[in-house]
């Protein structure tokens, strides 16, 4: 896993990328993911988690439910709903992006077929994501004392 955290005045964003190997210990992966989320998470930071999770999100499964549990504690939701890994006789969504859709409601997502591997890329655009500080309001008050 790798991450970048961006701080701009009173706002923060944290973008995390990870891979869960199909031959790794899944229970250990979930435990470590939960630990990372607990250490990183604050309500004032916007989060994007993305990567190859090797769990097909096009079908319901026990592994999918177990992966979603730690993300749900941080209000993060899967937004990839199309195949990301296509082979001759199968198409799966084993790469995913998780965001807080209650904070980032205005987003779009699309596949990027790159031809570099058997995985397609995903691109998420957060249209309402803004790290700029709120504009400062200046008020000029002139006290006039007439006597």
- Average pLDDT score, the chain: 85
Q: What pLDDT score was predicted for residue 78? A: 94
CB 35 within 8 A of CB 68: no
CB 81 within 8 A of CB 95: no
Q: What pLDDT score was predicted for residue 5? A: 86
- In tens, the pLDDT along 52-88 reads 988 999 999 999 999 999 999 999 999 999 988 888 8
Kindly state the percentage of the chain with pLDDT values over 70. 93
| pLDDT level of residue 129 (50, 70, 90 thresholds) | low
CATH number of 2-126: 3.60.10.10
| pLDDT level of residue 144 (50, 70, 90 thresholds) | confident
């Amino acid at each position: 896993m790798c991450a970048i955290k961006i701080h701009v005045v009173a706002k923060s964003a944290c973008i995390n990328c990870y891979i869960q190997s199909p031959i790794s210990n899944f229970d250990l992966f979930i435990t470590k993911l939960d630990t990372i989320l607990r250490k990183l998470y604050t309500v004032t930071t916007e989060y994007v988690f993305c990567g190859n999770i090797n769990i097909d999100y096009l079908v319901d499964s026990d592994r999918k439910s177990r992966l979603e549990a730690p993300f749900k504690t941080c209000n993060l939701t899967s937004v990839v709903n199309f195949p990301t890994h296509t082979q001759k006789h199968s198409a799966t969504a084993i790469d995913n992006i998780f965001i807080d859709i209650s904070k980032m409601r205005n987003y779009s997502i699309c596949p990027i077929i790159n031809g570099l591997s058997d995985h397609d890329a995903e691109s998420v655009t957060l249209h309402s994501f803004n790290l700029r500080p709120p504009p400062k309001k200046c008020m000029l008050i002139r006290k006039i004392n007439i006597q």
